[in-house]
Amino acid sequence: MAAGVGRMGGRGPGGVPGGRRAAAGARFVGKTALVTGGSSGIGLAVATRLVAEGASVVILARDRTRISEAVKGLREVASVTAEMLGIEPPRVEGASVDVMDEEGVRIAADAAAKLGRRLDVCIASAGMDGAAENAIDLTVEGFRKVLDVNVLGLFIAARAAAERMTRDGEGGSIVLVASVNGLIAEPDFADYNTSKGGAVMLAKSLARDLAATSIRVNAICPGYTRTAMTEAYLADPPTAATILGRIPLGRVAEPAEIASVIAFLASDEASYMTGSAVVVDGGWTA
């Protein structure tokens, strides 16, 4: 069994130190965000959190039906947000775009920027599972696909966001959804482990390269989280018992719990954080 995005993982704006910050619960009023993998799991949870705190959001995923359903739900959240905060409803749009489609992602980033004054936040959450096979049984084609989606897909989204964030010199925040599998190796998941290690190092590299532009980049490394990716594992009693027995808190995370940490990293409250890999795993790696 693996752990990672959705399993041990799931399937950010610059700030001026000492500057004014929005009150908790309204940190993203007037800001816009792009969220990949935003139709389900951690991606949808963080999109929901951003909208609930006032952000206008564009979500991306491949499944048109899921995108449509997610946008409908997020617009309902936007209506509640507007009433609670006394603001115009945050705008929510969605698009069916593969994260490997460079031009499609760039178009989506432009659309997100046009929802408001500029693009402030990018959450790169789209990812895929490993093959759950011993390393010597993995195919080169399968291994390459996992790396493409879980590393190159994050790079494409982060680069598209950074291109737009640098245009006015105001910076921004990018959060890459990695996994604790990027920090410790799980047996029979060499493809997934390698991809998540790449995601962590990508965040650190981008943080170094973009620091001069006031763009912060961090990675979040979730542990087992209740999403579609982990559903089969958690539905099998012996497997679930093994997973829970390894987690000191004795339970898996809910997507909203991971989203709350991502929202912190994306907010001005984390204005001095960049290049970090933040672990949220219930004690799995302790």
For the annotated catalytic residues, the residue numbers are 192
* Rounded Cα gap, residues 194 and 155, in angstroms: 15
**Residue 62 class from Cβ within 10 Å (0-12 exposed, 13-18 middle, 19+ buried)?**
middle
Q: Supply angle C-alpha 226, 266, 278, rounded to 5.
A: 55
Are 261 and 3 in contact by the 8 Å Cβ rule? The answer is no
What are the tokens at 252?
A: 């898996």
- Whole-angstrom distance, CA of residue 44 vs CA of residue 36: 9
Please say whether the beta carbons of 38 and 60 come within 8 A. Answer: yes
State the DSSP code for 249.
T
What is the C-alpha to C-alpha distance for residues 154 and 175, in angstroms, rounded to an integer? 9
Cα separation, 56 vs 271, in Å, equals: 20
Longest Cα–Cα distance in the chain:
58
Contact of 284 with 8, CB cutoff 8 Å? yes
**Residue 39 amino acid letter:** S
Q: What does the alpha-carbon distance between residue 14 and residue 262 come to, in Å, rounded to a whole number?
A: 14
User: 199-223 burial by CB neighbour count: b if 16+ within 10 A, else e?
Assistant: bbebbbebbeebeebbbbbbbbbbb
Which SS3 state, helix, strand or coil, does residue 217 take?
Answer: strand
